Amino acid sequence: MTTAAIDTSETKEYFINMGPQHPSTHGVLRLLLTLEGEIIKNVEPHIGYVHRAIEKMCEKSSFQQIIHLTDRLDYLSCHMNNEAVCLAVEQGLEMEVPERVKVIRTIIDELNRISSHTLWWGVMGMDMGAITSFLYGFREHEMITEIFEETCGARLTMSYNVPGGLMFDIPPHFQKMVKDFLVHFKKKLPEYDTLLSNNIIFTERTKGIGYLSKENAIAFGVTGPSARASGFACDVRKLKPYSAYHKVNFKEIIFTEGDCFARYKARIDEMWESVSIIEQLIDNIPEGDYFVKTKAVIKLPVGEYYQSVESARGEFGVYIVSDNKKNPYRVKFRSPGFANLSALNKIAQGCKIADLVAIMSTLDLVIPDIDR
């Protein structure tokens, strides 16, 4: 059914509330859809259902306490969020952390990225109607979660970083666990391709759907795999290497198609890159301390500090204004989900409801990250 076939003077637009309780908004996001038949005319995201005033809470917390709040932004890339705060504080204290810390942070970052992407892959399949992929994705996610559990005692909200280093040293069998996982994961990743990437129904539903141009990606501030699929090189790991990223060789995954399939493929390829990064580092963890002792009460010199990291969804930035007190004067988080969501209306216009679900999946939205 094309729009041309319908006499538009006779048809009327109508509204549908997608969410706040809806299986494919992955949280409490409310989309107000303006529809004509099944064709989307306008998407208006209404956010704020899980707003917890985290930025305001940060103003009342010490710098150590901020970290556990950042766990609760984008809970799927909590380690990157933690790291951003720690790097910003370390930058303020002009502190150099040991090499060992940098390498471990990088490994955990990449494990976290894989765990986030496997979960995204499963959920993407589920949104497309292939519920089985959800369980397969979660299987690999769970294995990484177990590694985290052994390493820092928490599965999801890790709080593994502290200003100056890490909360614990890695457990003695950490390397073996990670290597075992990589062996398993490299066997399972091609399975992901057979199940979804090469499946004709899946490719038909994603190729050419939800086009985001490079200009629009830059204009809306879209970052992460979603933007790289449109040809926008924005990987913070490459542009401003932090931790141990300057030491490893990895490709920045760039596609130019800008459609749902490119965004999907960018994430799948990014998992392979993450695997290669971990493999380069896992045998070369330098000996040394796992943290530098800081004062019990950290006070940053008066000034502004910004540190961005590449989280699983894009550029995650922490902006701290300090007035030399034990609490920051102001904290602002630049969350990738918020910027990515802003492009949704541009992408989704003219698509069908089913396409909207695919687009939202490929933008990989995590609602607490958007609402904060």
Partner 1 sequence: MNEVTEYFSDIFKGVRSLLKGMSVTGYYFLHPKEIITQQYPENRDVLKVPERFRGELVMPHTADNQHRCTGCSACQLACPNGSIIIVSDRIETPEGKKKKIIDKHVYNLAMCTFCNLCVRACPTDAIVMSNDFEHATYDRGDLIKILNQPGSKVLEGIEE
Partner 2 sequence: MKILSIYDFSNLTQAIHTWLSGKMSVVSTQVVEMILVGTVFLLFFAVLGLVLVYAERKVCAIIQVRLGPMRVGKWGTAQTLADFIKLVFKEPLITRDADKFLFNLAPFIIIIASFMAVAVMPFAKGLQAMDFDIGLFYISAVSSIGVTSILIAGWASNSKYSLIGAIRSGAQILSYELSAGLSLLTIVILTGSLQLSEIVESQADGWWIWKGHVSSIIAFVIFIIAGTAETNRGPFDMAEAESELTAGFHTEYSGIKFAFFFLAEYVNMFIIAAIGATVFFGGWMPLHVGNFEAFNNIMDYIPSVVWFFMKVSAIIFLMMWFRWTFPRLRIDQLLTLEWKYLLPLSLMNILLMAFLSLMGWHF
Q: Which residues bind partner 1 (CB under 8 A)?
A: 61-62, 64-65, 67-69, 71, 132, 139, 142, 146, 149-154, 157, 159, 162, 167-168, 171, 191, 194-196, 198-201, 296
Distance, C-alpha 207 to centroid of its chain = 22
Q: Note whether 233 binds partner 2 by CB under 8 A.
A: no
**Shortest reach from residue 278's CB to partner 2, in Å:** 24
Q: Give the binding range for partner 2 (CB under 8 A) out of 48-56, 86-94, 127-135, 235-243.
A: 127-135
How far, in Å, CA of 127 to CA of 364, rounded? 12
Q: Which is nearer to partner 2, 198 or 284 (CB)?
A: 198
The residue from 20, 22, 50, 167 that contacts partner 2 (CB under 8 A) is 22
Q: Which does 354 bind (CB under 5 to 8 A by kind): partner 1, partner 2, none?
A: partner 2
Q: Which does 198 bind (CB under 5 to 8 A by kind): partner 2, partner 1, none?
A: partner 1
Q: Give the binding range for partner 2 (CB under 8 A) out of 22-30, 108-116, 276-284, 291-299.
A: 22-30
Q: Note whether 190 binds partner 2 by CB under 8 A.
A: no
Give the per-residue contact string, 37-66, with partner 2 (x = CB under 8 A; - = no).
-x----------------------------
**Shortest reach from residue 201's CB to partner 2, in Å:** 5
Count of alpha carbons within 13 angstroms of residue 300, beta-carbon side: 29
Distance, C-alpha 169 to centroid of its chain = 25
**Shortest reach from residue 354's CB to partner 2, in Å:** 4
Q: Which does 167 bind (CB under 5 to 8 A by kind): partner 1, partner 2, none?
A: partner 1
Q: Which is nearer to partner 2, 18 or 217 (CB)?
A: 18
Q: Which does 29 bind (CB under 5 to 8 A by kind): partner 2, partner 1, none?
A: none
- How many residues contact partner 2, by CB under 8 A? 31
Q: Note whether 1 binds partner 2 by CB under 8 A.
A: yes
Name the residue type at position 173.
H
**Shortest reach from residue 191's CB to partner 2, in Å:** 12
Q: Note whether 6 binds partner 2 by CB under 8 A.
A: no
Q: Note whether 139 binds partner 2 by CB under 8 A.
A: yes
What residues line the site for partner 2 (CB under 8 A)?
A: 1, 14, 16, 22-24, 38, 125-132, 134-136, 139, 195-196, 199, 201-202, 204-205, 352-355, 357
